[in-house]
Structure 1
Amino acid sequence: MAARPPCRKGERAVTGAEEVRKPGAEVGEGCPVCRGGRHGATGTLQEDVERFERLLRRISHVVYTKGREILADFGITSPQFDALLFLHRDGDMPMGALCDRMSLACSTVTDLVSRMEKGGFVIRERDQNDRRVIKVRLLPRGEEMVHKVMASRIRYLTDILADLPAEERAKAIAVLEEIYELIHEPTT
């Protein structure tokens, strides 16, 4: 693996919850994140894991907060968007399956679906094969909402990732995919 370039943060580096500034510092010099060298692994597994956890938490918080702002701009809540996304990806589904997918109580999902039905995003219908089953179906307005929200989220992330060279983006994506696979592998 090629060495990473020197710290591009220069005199400004973020560590933990605080920002550290070293006036007049040269690029990479005195950076508390990379210890005056290069960003990347710091040494011990424990140090790397602690740093990874902190960065993951901070990135998740920023992206989650921006995601909620985007949803607010469109007048829907995070649980409503989650439900719309599940229906978009998986198609019509019984209320019970939607409750399971969302990991929410059925009473909560019933209220959620009622609000979305009033907004014209979904409709509840009886299953043709089993009249006891109520299915939730995404309507064109719900489909349109999914596309609009996703387009806005993609624009936000594009603005952020545009500053990274293509090679760095590819590496970041590869590492995230690998971590995702490790998380989903059953442990023995």
Structure 2
Amino acid sequence: MPEQINPLVERIGLSMWRVQKRIASGIALNVELGLTFPQFSLLNMIAREGRARVVTLAERMEVKSSAVTVMLDRMEAVGLVRREQDENDRRAVVVSLTEKGENVRSEGHRRSLVLLEEHLSILTPEELAQFADCYDLLDRQKR
């Protein structure tokens, strides 16, 4: 017998998916910044690492290294990232952001926060605090 799903859980899941989709499409990274959403995510990962190995990025994105390589080829062609041989392992490649890459990442981040703020503006300050507390709780949950 299949396990019953709480209707509230289903409702929350569907609402989260719809809102996330609306926000992600509203960022308009592709048109205005020349990036796809996965490329923007990759820029953020590289920024967090400082210098990131391609295999590490692929693991985090849960894709093959070849998929990351294709994205990096495009991003390198427009001057967002640079690739270098790893000093410790000549077979490995490390990636870092260029100044242009950091500027594009920073602008994309700013735009996404502005859009998120617009979507959340329907909440009162108290509701916004409760919402943030709930997400913090979910974020701290063991995976």
Superposition TM-score, scaled by structure 2 size: 0.87
Structure 2 counterpart of 1:152, which letter? Answer: R
Cα distance in 2 for partners of 1:46, 1:114 equals: 45
SS in 2 for 1:131: coil
Cα distance in 2 for partners of 1:116, 1:131 equals: 22
Greater fraction helix? 2
Q: Which has the larger radius of gyration?
A: 1
The residue correspondences of 1:1-188 to structure 2 (distance < 5 A) are 46-67=6-27, 69-182=28-141, 185-186=142-143
Cα distance in 2 for partners of 1:46, 1:131 equals: 52
- Of all paired residues, the percent bearing the same amino acid is 29
- The ranges of structure 1 where at least 4 consecutive aligned residues each deviate by more than 6 angstroms after the TM superposition are none
Aligned residues: CA RMSD: 1.7
Q: Which runs of 5+ in 1 are unaligned?
A: 1-44
Alpha-carbon offset, residue 159 of structure 1: 2.0
Cα distance in 2 for partners of 1:159, 1:139 equals: 30
Superposition TM-score, scaled by structure 1 size: 0.68
Q: Which runs of 5+ in 2 are unaligned?
A: none
Check the 8 A contact 2:80/2:100 in 1, yes or no.
yes
Check the 8 A contact 2:24/2:37 in 1, yes or no.
no
Structure 2 counterpart of 1:47, which letter? Answer: P
Structure 1 counterpart of 2:19, which letter? Answer: I
